[in-house]
Amino acid sequence: MGLSKLRAELVEILPAKGITELNALQNKVIDAMKSGKNLLVEAHEGAGKTKAAMLCVLAKIVEPGEGSPRAIIVCKSNEKAKELHDEIYKICRLLDLTVDLVHEKGNIIQQRNDVFDGTEIIIGTPRRLYELYIQNGFNVSQMKLFILDDAITLFKEGHKMRLQRIAESLPKCQHILFSHSFKDERIESYMDDYVINPQLIEE
């Protein structure tokens, strides 16, 4: 399906970056995201969940801000975070948006300085995001979008406390969780507290 439902700048930029259409899942997610509701997106591996997460950020964050990040995407691994960062960076630079990568393989002081200098979007792992957050490395007061990519893996790998600490400090913002399943008591408990009245989107 075409890109016409996205804003004009993206319709112009994305084809040159290899994105020429949205699949059925991505169309559903973008439509639902515009409503401002919290979302649970359930689909199998390879369905395009991560690209949908990226497109949600690009559609939601439309102009540069002052200082505080307005979107965070939490990834399950250093490799996944870097892969997503590298893809979104190519687009953000054309939109005059700043995106920073934070993960355990990078220098935490440099990452903290980069984020502190001002960014619109942070992509990272739960451990490093939490480390930076408790060091006052970034301000969450302007957050609009908090995304968990492969949510069930994040909880099964023991990151519930880190995600809770960040989530409980967020202002009212949109939460979007992507996963192949949400049937786990740890993620269900988290959703009860922080993902209020979500809309379920299935493949």
- pLDDT computed for residue 164 by the predictor: 96
- pLDDT computed for residue 127 by the predictor: 97
pLDDT digits (tens, 9 = 90+) for 96-127: 999 999 999 989 999 999 888 889 999 999 99
State yes or no: pLDDT of 7 exceeds 90: no
List, in order, residues 6 or more apart from 176 with CB less than 8 Å away: 29, 33, 38, 39, 41, 53, 56, 145, 146, 147, 148
Contact yes or no for 45/203 (Cβ under 8 A):
no
Contact yes or no for 120/139 (Cβ under 8 A):
no
Q: What token pair was written down for 172?
A: 């009212």
The domain segmentation of the chain, as residue ranges, is 23-202
DSSP state letter for 16 = G
pLDDT digits (tens, 9 = 90+) for 67-85: 689 999 999 999 999 999 9
pTM of the entire structure? Answer: 0.94
Span 23-202 CATH architecture: 3-Layer(aba) Sandwich (3.40)
Contact yes or no for 178/48 (Cβ under 8 A):
no
* Beta-bridge mates of residue 100: 122
- pLDDT computed for residue 1 by the predictor: 60
